[in-house]
Chains A and B, each alone.
Chain A
């Protein structure tokens, strides 16, 4: 199974957001606000959840879908890392 560390997770997530929800005018950094820039509707939330489950092999529960966790690349990769380590 592929090994993920924080840097790899962040880079994978960055690639996912840039290719899945292209926004040429926005520079995506670790602290960019994902809910207002990328995850703007329910469909995008579901797309992101499905990607996290399929790509990282983690399982999400309903309470994981929150602005706190999906705030930016940093918080999201921390969340993925915690799930992978659990």
Chain B
């Protein structure tokens, strides 16, 4: 798909792409899910089939670093923050839900397809996380919906009441009789109904500024909460713990921002049905590795323009292809990682198990680190990270695709990049879209319209330093490690990484503007070697600046800077 995405589709075009049933496609999708279930769950044991490890040994596949103690594949695909079931059982539930979602989306009429994805999600979420967490997440999104899309007069009572019902289920302690519970639900329902009907909506409709502020507050609620929480902890020493449903909702903050950008730009209708809103965020693709690839799917417009934009059978086949790639990552991730580590070590280059943090801590403790070690470790660390994420985010992309969305992959052959601008497009595509749409474009179209260099520099700085640091890494760091002031300070210490990345991308942008490339990269002509050289320099630059992004505890900025310079052959010790 192109950079600008697809043009808006008409319902007739979408209907045309809801093409006749192809049983071979359906069987292929279900068969692939069965393969996943065989490899990553206990299904083989239950069905008295040969276990994956035994089968692999029989056919002579090297089994070290692939299988775990129960003889199936040790996978990085999991359901985050819940322990209702074992990892294997959680994965089995996930695959079953994906199969149901696919069949519903494939067979149901167009008007029910999105609703079926949302309902499949709710069932999966309910089983995996329980009623309270599911309701809490639903409540958070419902409140955002009510603030962004003020309902029509006839719906106001019911929609406000529903918010109260959800809040009651999520937070109130249940009574010991049905009468008490019914009274409790009615009371919460009425309270929320009155709150919205008498206060929130009238104020929003009367004062445009209040409406704008309130919308921004709900969209930025994640960021506001973590910052206040961290500062509170810094002063008072008390750590806020959020209900799991709220935390899971907060992980949607980047996509909420993109939804808000669509909302403000007028590219989406002001009246959006609850199902249309909820199916943007709550689909089975959210379930695996909730905290990984959180920008996948982007906002309203991207999804709307990609839903049934081509033949559904073609979309399902594209989904199968990416599931194939995901499978390779999930199964062989560790084999490739340890293979590369051993390869470098056999040449006498220490690569610290492909971990930058380990290299930094060795350096801080006084060990000598060579230039080749810095160069190799930083690259291998990124390969490790990409392969770790690749399996799960490609599987998520596949879910979107088999369910009817032409979803771009999160990683799109980043090793083909010959400069930092194309690398930025190919590496973590959806996250980059978030930075471009929420920070780059607003700055580019507003400031320094008469000064080309300043215009590009400021826009890149807004996206790569400010957006990436504050809305990306800092907020994420708090969600991962808790709302401690020390976490906030720890992420701030990584500022040189963001500045260096900004500088690199800005210089590349300006260079490419002034010196137009005359040939297409990777053309097999006499300059092909320069493509390899440009590719290596691009990737190495991106990797080596991670010395500043992944410091180990005890490392100072000076230590990181010295290691960074060692990468260029400059030893200051």
Contact = CB atoms under 8 A, between A and B. Distances in A.
- The size class of the interface chain A forms with chain B is 20 to 34
A36 B456 CA distance: 24
Interface stretch (B15-23, B208-216, B442-450, B470-478): B442-450
A27 interface: no
Nearest to B437: A62
B509 interface: yes
A62 B512 contact: no
A20 B4 contact: no
Contacts of A42: 3, 421, 424-425, 436, 440
Contact of B445 (A36, A47, A62, A67): A62
Nearest to A75: B7
A39 B4 contact: yes
Interface residues of B, number: 29
Interface in B498-531: 509, 512-513, 516
Contacts, number: 61
Q: Which of B266, B267, B305, B445 has the most CB of A within 10 A?
A: B445
Contacts of A66: 4, 267
Which of B266, B425, B441 has the most chain A CB atoms closer than 10 A to its own CB?
Answer: B441
A45 interface: yes
A2 interface: no
| B3, B8, B422, B444 — most chain A CB neighbours (10 Å) | B3
B3 A44 contact: yes
B3 A71 contact: no
Contact of B442 (A53, A60, A62, A68): A62
Contacts of A26: none
A43 B4 contact: no
Given A47-B513, A59-B449, A66-B267, A39 B444 contact: no
Given A47-B513, A67-B6, A67-B305, A53 B425 contact: no
Contacts of A68: 7-8
A12 to B, nearest CB: 18
A46 B444 contact: yes
B525 to A, nearest CB: 14
B365 interface: no
Contacts of B8: 68
B207 interface: no
Contacts of A61: 445
A67 B110 CA distance: 24
16 contacts: A35-B2, A36-B1, A41-B425, A43-B509, A46-B444, A46-B456, A46-B509, A50-B452, A60-B445, A61-B445, A63-B265, A63-B266, A65-B441, A66-B4, A68-B7, A70-B4
Interface of A: 20, 33, 35-36, 39-47, 50, 53, 59-63, 65-68, 70-71
Given A39-B3, A42-B424, 18 more contacts: A35-B2, A36-B1, A40-B2, A41-B421, A41-B422, A45-B3, A45-B4, A59-B449, A62-B265, A63-B267, A65-B4, A67-B2, A67-B4, A67-B5, A67-B6, A67-B7, A68-B7, A71-B7
In order of increasing CB-CB distance, the 4 nearest A-B pairs are A35-B2, A63-B265, A35-B4, A67-B4
